[in-house]
Chains A and B, each alone.
Chain A
Amino acid sequence: MNDAFGRPQSMVVLAGTSEIARAVVRRTVADRCRTVVLAGRNPTTLAEAAAEAVAAGADDVPTLLFDAGDPTGARDAVDRCFAAAGGEVDVVLVAVGELGDQSVDETDPERTAAMLTVNFTWPAAAMVAAAARLRTQGHGRLVVLSSVAGVRVRRANFVYGSSKAGLDAFSVGLGEALRGSGAGVMVVRPGFVRTKMTLGRPEAPFATTADVVAEAITDGLASGAEVVWAPGALRWVFAVLKNLPATIWRRLPG
């Protein structure tokens, strides 16, 4: 059960090898989360992430495999995660994502479709499956990693950006649908985070670390937030950027 500070005792992570997700798990486990289930696509790195969670104090950390390229498998992946967690889950963290290569993704229709699948279709399907579980449980939080890239989509990464915009809007809607059920959704909008996803890419303003995002997430769980920005200042930055005239927006660097 989540306690008064929104501290979970059991967690399922969809994309347990995500660096942001690993930082979240380190925090929740230090704070009394005992059951952690990690799902991902790479058994080797999954085992590493699981060992890290155990070292931090988790009981034992089952891992299992899924491929976000195949949305028809989303329900099954979620079912297996809940079963591995013992049936009840306090927090489901959805961290699947791929930044892609914009120049290819905007010209190759198969790549466009693949990006939208991994970043939007699969996560949305998995969230629907998880939401049904949480609704039956009468409690639990779905935490989904969106991105500021989806808040206002840029020319330079509109494939990734639009996939996050879709996921973000979907998640907000799902949160509304769950109102009154005891379950809820928290949408997380990080800016540029230094992880393996962004390795070698030029840093954007307000660049931050996975640990800062993880802290924003546990704080958000404590306060019952529905939307979390990381770092927090981006909320105000984007309040402005969102309303810039297109002519100016286009000319901004990055």
Chain B
Amino acid sequence: MGDGWLLAGWGRTSPSWARVVTPADPAELSVELSGGEGGEKGAGTIARGLGRSYGDAAQCAGGTVIDVGRLSDIGPIDPESGLVTVGGGTSIQHLLERSLPEGWFVPVTPGTRLVSIGGAIAADVHGKNHHRDGSFCGHVTSLTLNTPSGVLSTGPELDPELFWATAGGMGLTGVVTDATVRMKPVETNRVVVDTERFTDLDGVMAAMEESDSGYQYSVAWVDAAAGRGRAGRSVLTRGDHAAVSDLPKAHRDRPLEAPHPARVRVRRTAPSGLLNAFTVSAFNAAWYSRAPRRRSGELQTITAFFHPLDGIDGWNLLYGRRGFLQYQFAVGPDRADVVHQAVRLLSDSGTPSFLAVLKRFGSGNPGPLSFPIEGWTLALDLPLGPPQLARITDQLDEMVAQAGGRVYLAKDARLRPELLEVMYPRLSELQEVRRRIDPSGILCSDLSRRLGMDGARMAG
């Protein structure tokens, strides 16, 4: 049952083959988790949403990958509380198409709306509002998890160990078949945005510390590819949902139209080397000089503000055959020096890096593998190809680990396994839950195997 094919993450770096099944309902899914029909015994099973994690989290070489795309029902949105129960395979795109016209926005959105609710929970995704609202799982009141020991209901009050292990647990505690999410009321589909440009990192970081709290959303784009002296120049954009009264008169009668799916599609892999040190720094420079020095009160669409790349389907193909890495780390509030060092390391080594994203995180949640911790996070887009890249990213790991920080597993494709527990010291709490709900070790992914998270199972 079910064909197999090659699966890779969004960065397209390490494809592997697996049998792929697309269960029509949770009952069909249970069969797969109980050992499956015809799956290679012992080769494992993992869920896959929309494949927007960058590395190898949603693939399982030689095993079974459960594509949850058909579990995509959207229940009614409670007009009082904003609570809605959605299938684990529902995309944020579809949820917004339904919810916005009724005046509800998702509580947290990553930089693309082409992620599934299951993927948003498994990575405990964060958005530009983390400093205020925390990450996605903080807005989930309950979920249904299909596990090898049966179907379990969980939430922050009901079996909290299981719930929080699932938040950021990268699918290793089971398959989320549905979740109840508390949506956020909005009056319009626009955001009122203030933009400021800074010539260096110190400036932008000071501004974020000082006044992020005055905005619901805040993020800075940093140029880490510019040469010495200019590396670290940044554009800070911050905003809040617009009220109807913020809109020009002409738009006030249709304030809640949902964003459209992508209109442009990239079909072919670009030639390798198209994105090199030269083209990348030229792009970053053009982008920096186009940004206004300071502008306030600009109205932006949801796509422009939250999901700027969603207009182009398959943009990851532009990185060429070899693909690319995204390197994202988080460090404490007093470790701004690591952000400085990282930018300097990339710039000094001439490593091409697309606009890096800098953000201040608010406090983390109880999830042992949930990525956000209070402090700073920096995300770097790094095309594969430069020979120094493997060494540079290993160096970044050491810096981050020494500073008590961590890298984001939803983006990882290369971490040294020994560093996982250093970065996530509460890893054993996830493992305890896994032993309980998956005693024979059916759930695993290329990520969990690469990082040695499956312990005795792989040795046996």
Contacts and interface: CB of A to CB of B under 8 A. Distances in A.
Interface of A: 1-7, 9, 31-32, 86-88, 135-139, 180-183, 219, 222-224
Interface in B96-153: none
Interface string B406-426: 000000011011000000000
A2 B14 contact: yes
A4 B325 contact: yes
A4 B384 contact: yes
A1 B416 CA distance: 12
27 contacts: A1-B14, A1-B16, A1-B61, A3-B413, A3-B414, A3-B450, A4-B14, A4-B325, A4-B384, A4-B413, A5-B384, A5-B389, A5-B414, A6-B14, A9-B417, A32-B417, A88-B458, A137-B43, A138-B43, A138-B63, A139-B16, A139-B17, A180-B17, A183-B17, A219-B387, A222-B390, A224-B322
A181 B62 CA distance: 9
Those 7 A-B pairs whose CB atoms lie nearest each other, nearest first: A182-B17, A138-B17, A4-B13, A138-B62, A138-B61, A4-B413, A1-B450
Given A3-B414, A136-B40, A224-B321, 14 more contacts: A1-B16, A4-B384, A87-B458, A136-B62, A137-B62, A138-B18, A138-B43, A180-B6, A180-B17, A182-B6, A182-B16, A182-B17, A222-B390, A223-B385
A48 B378 CA distance: 45
A86 B456 CA distance: 11
A223 B390 contact: no
A136 B417 CA distance: 24
A131 B449 CA distance: 21
Contacts of A2: 14
Interface string B369-399: 0000000000000001101011000000000
Among B16, B43, B55, B323: residue with most chain A CB under 10 A: B16
Interface in B284-342: 321-323, 325
Chain A interface, >50% SS class: loop
Contacts of B458: 86-88
B15 interface: yes
B16 A9 contact: no
Interface size class of B (residues with CB under 8 A): 35 or more
Contacts of B43: 137-138
A240 B135 CA distance: 60
Interface in B258-294: none
Nearest to B19: A138
B389 to A, nearest CB: 8
A87 B40 CA distance: 13
A137 B61 contact: yes
A135 B390 CA distance: 27
A139 B322 contact: no
Nearest to A222: B390
A3 B414 CA distance: 5
A72 to B, nearest CB: 28
A186 B446 CA distance: 22
A14 B425 CA distance: 39
Interface string B40-82: 1001000000000001100001110000000000000000000
A7 B18 CA distance: 21
Interface string B172-190: 0000000000000000000
B11 A4 contact: yes
Given A137-B62, A138-B18, A182-B6, A4 B459 contact: no
Contacts of A4: 11, 13-14, 55, 323, 325, 384, 413-414
Contact of A223 (B55, B322, B449): B322
Contacts of A136: 40, 62
B322 A138 contact: no
Given A1-B446, A3-B14, A3-B414, A139 B387 contact: no
Nearest to B447: A1
Contacts of B416: 32
A169 B271 CA distance: 27
Nearest to A135: B17
A1 B449 contact: yes
B12 to A, nearest CB: 9
Contacts of A5: 384, 389-390, 414
A154 to B, nearest CB: 34
A35 to B, nearest CB: 10
A182 B321 contact: no
A183 B18 CA distance: 12
Most B CB within 10 A of own CB, among A1, A219, A222: A1
Contacts of B61: 1, 137-139, 182
B335 to A, nearest CB: 26
B13 to A, nearest CB: 4
A187 B346 CA distance: 33
Contacts of A31: 390
Contacts of B387: 219
